[in-house]
């Protein structure tokens, strides 16, 4: 059930990120996303990056959720294949999509880190939405397992 809760949590966070109804994160000074200031002069050396923090945190959340599903299937493949071969078939299609998303995300994030301008961050965010959309899809592929565990769910 916790897997389901985490899916709902991710969907809620993704929806709120989409409509932008979140606050600016409060970043403790000295942290990797907080920017640097010359202590003596008080002049900012590098700007804070709250938007990159949000993008990275949301990406990690979605990635970990999908990774958890894939690991569960791989670790228990023989048992799940006996239950339904469709689980692996469905997840294999998602695996291909994730590898593609991962490559584009890494390329886009590298571009943003080299040149932190808004259009580059927008690309990172658009790719983030793609992996977020895959979370409930990947988790739904395990439905035959959940139904087997709790036949009254349907």
Partner 1 sequence: MSPLIEQIISFINLAIKTAPAAKQVYEDGRALVDALFLGKLITKEQQDSLMQWADAHQAAVLSGEVPPEFKVE
- CA distances 71 to 124, 138, 144, Å, are 25, 12, 17
What's the min distance (Å) between Cβ of 75 and partner 1? Answer: 7
What's the min distance (Å) between Cβ of 79 and partner 1? Answer: 6
Point out which residues bind partner 1 (CB under 8 A): 2-3, 5-6, 9-10, 12-13, 16, 22-23, 25-34, 53-54, 56-61, 63-65, 67-68, 70-72, 74-76, 79-80, 92, 95-96, 98-99, 102-103, 105-107, 109-110, 145, 148-149
**Complex with partner 1: residue 106 or 140, whichever CB lies closer:** 106
For residue 61, give every residue at least 6 positions away whose Cβ sits within 8 Å of its Cβ, in sequence order, or none: 10, 13
> For tokens 């395990």, what's the residue?
142
Q: Give which of 91, 75, 74, 73 is closest to 145, Cα–Cα.
A: 73
What's the min distance (Å) between Cβ of 32 and partner 1? Answer: 4
- The one-character DSSP state at 44 is E
Which bin fits 35, alpha (ψ -120 to 50), beta or left (φ > 0)?
A: left
What's the min distance (Å) between Cβ of 147 and partner 1? Answer: 11
**Complex with partner 1: residue 2 or 42, whichever CB lies closer:** 2
- How far, in Å, CA of 145 to CA of 69, rounded? 12
Please count the CA atoms within 13 angstroms of the CA of 46 that sit on its side-chain side: 15
What's the min distance (Å) between Cβ of 129 and partner 1? Answer: 15
């Amino acid at each position: 059930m916790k897997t389901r809760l985490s899916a709902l949590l991710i969907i809620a966070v993704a929806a709120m990120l989409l409509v932008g109804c979140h606050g600016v994160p409060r970043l403790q000074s000295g942290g990797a996303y907080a920017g640097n200031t010359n202590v003596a002069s008080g002049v900012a050396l590098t700007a804070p990056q709250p938007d990159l923090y949000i993008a990275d945190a949301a990406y990690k959340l979605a990635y970990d959720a999908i990774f958890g599903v894939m690991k569960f299937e791989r670790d228990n493949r023989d048992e799940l294949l006996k239950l339904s071969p469709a689980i692996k078939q469905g997840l294999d299609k998602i695996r291909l999509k994730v590898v593609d998303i991962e490559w584009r995300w890494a390329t886009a994030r590298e571009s943003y880190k080299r040149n932190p301008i808004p259009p580059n961050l927008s690309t990172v965010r658009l790719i983030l939405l793609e992996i977020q959309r895959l979370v409930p899809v990947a988790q739904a592929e395990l439905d035959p397992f959940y139904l087997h565990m709790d036949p009254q769910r349907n």
